Amino acid sequence: MKKNTRRNVRPGGPLAQLGGLTATQFLRDYWQKKPLLIRQAFASFEEPLTKQEVIELAQRDDAESRVVVHAGRQWQLRHGPFSKRDFAALRNSLWTVLIQDTQHFSQEAHDVLARFSFIPHARVDDLMVSYAVPGAGVGAHVDSYDVFLLQGSGKRRWQISSQSDLRLKEDVPLKILARFKAEHEYLLETGDMLYLPPGYAHHGVAETECLTWSIGFRAPSQQELSTALLDHLRDEVHFDGQYRDPDLRPSRRPGEINAAMTARMERMLAAVSHAARDKATLRRFLGGYLTEPKSHVYFDAPEPRLGLTAFSRRVKRDGARLDLKTRLLYLGESFFLNGVAISVGAADRAAWRQLADARELPGRAALSGSKAFYETLHRAYCGGYLHPDSPRPAAPGGRRGP
């Protein structure tokens, strides 16, 4: 991917990746409403990873990978990490390998996501890549979230449908539609992109050996969000009350949960309901929830590690950038880094907002930071969450691998 792709993000003007639409036009007319095919959304697209790098990434235990094998009516789903022998055994099969969160391993993949910064970072999930041999696919299915399907090398034929029949095949390890009736069909070539709103059925088959990049967005279900909130309340909110009934009378029906006991417990549970509606509690929950790294993500502490003074000098000179796996968001005057609220003074909020928005902070923007600003940055650096910026060396041919 070419350098400085963030310069192409101009939410107020026409965007090449949206076929010349402005972000406002796209969000108003298409987002969560109807599909959009964009020819050459990424002109002269240079992929973040090659086929070989994708295969190598699927062999790492810190990458979330899957292989789907299709033979007639039979489907197989396997989870990584995989070995070279696993891929050699697939030689005569119809197979696809999928890898989530490629932006964790490639700056170029992160730069692709940056082209979609007209959508809040809190809504962006990941950049997934799928490599497929000719004739392979993962079956007709629907996603519960918005997705942009960006074609890399090769060609893939997509069929899409607004059908309401979303029943699934039985005894299949994938969520494949039992009946799929295509309404539209498109052949995507390198740089073409197809946007699909949630719930739109689609079926992609590789016409040639190909790589497809999927920009997916977070859309938690109400059940998932509610369960996470209850977990947060359990861990973060403490209640001092205890059930008491000093006026208890002899029971004539010992097996009954009587009205008095019910009323007392309802009063106790009302405190839980109140805590769940408390705005400060909800803000802390949302900030932590939306920045919590996925379970397979871990960070490497720097070795050797710079002391606070040397680190501050480097940041003032070169700036800082977030680690590819880091999530930093802000909500009003509160800031959240990888699931944890961080303390930020009023004088430093502008710099932290800039770091959250652009994921990097130029040295000139850090010069006015307070002592506490550099101490907080340094703690994040020691955890592997951010790094002093420096030019990233390019591999032969101008590409940088995972």
Interval 100-128 mean pLDDT: 97
Scan for tokens 């699909």, then name that residue. Answer: 196
Asked if residue 22 has pLDDT above 60, the reply is yes
Asked if residue 2 has pLDDT above 50, the reply is no
Interval 75-102 mean pLDDT: 97
Distance between CA 11 and CA 40 in Å, rounded? Answer: 19
Asked if residue 94 has pLDDT above 90, the reply is yes
pLDDT of residue 66: 98
Distance between CA 259 and CA 184 in Å, rounded? Answer: 60
Asked if residue 207 has pLDDT above 90, the reply is yes
Confidence of residue 5 (pLDDT cuts 50, 70, 90): very low
pLDDT of residue 365: 77
Asked if residue 61 has pLDDT above 70, the reply is yes
CB 207 within 8 A of CB 110: no
> In 109-143, which positions are buried (b, 16+ CB within 10 angstroms) versus exposed (e)?
bbbbbbbbbbbebbebbbbbbbbbbeebbbbbbbb
pLDDT tens per residue, range 334-345: 999 999 999 999
Confidence of residue 225 (pLDDT cuts 50, 70, 90): very high
Asked if residue 396 has pLDDT above 60, the reply is no
Q: Would you call the peptide bond into 304 cis, given omega within 30 degrees of 0 as the criterion?
A: yes
Distance between CA 131 and CA 286 in Å, rounded? Answer: 35
Compare 204 and 239 and report the one with higher pLDDT.
Answer: 204
Confidence of residue 3 (pLDDT cuts 50, 70, 90): very low
Interval 4-11 mean pLDDT: 45
pLDDT of residue 82: 98
pLDDT of residue 398: 41
Asked if residue 391 has pLDDT above 60, the reply is no
| Percent of the chain residues topping a pLDDT of 70 | 94
In the chain, domain spans: 5-217, 222-248+257-277, 308-388
Confidence of residue 1 (pLDDT cuts 50, 70, 90): very low
pLDDT of residue 308: 97
Asked if residue 402 has pLDDT above 70, the reply is no
Cα–Cα nearest to 216, from 292, 145, 270: 145
Asked if residue 6 has pLDDT above 80, the reply is no
Interval 188-217 mean pLDDT: 98
pLDDT tens per residue, range 258-306: 999 999 999 999 988 888 889 999 999 999 999 999 999 999 999 999 9
Within 10 angstroms of residue 331's Cβ, the number of other Cβ atoms is 15
The CATH number that domain 5-217 falls under is: 2.60.120.650
Asked if residue 97 has pLDDT above 80, the reply is yes
Distance between CA 174 and CA 375 in Å, rounded? Answer: 48
Order of strands across the sheet that contains 210-217: 36-38, 193-196, 147-151, 210-217, 124-132, 94-99, 65-71, 74-79
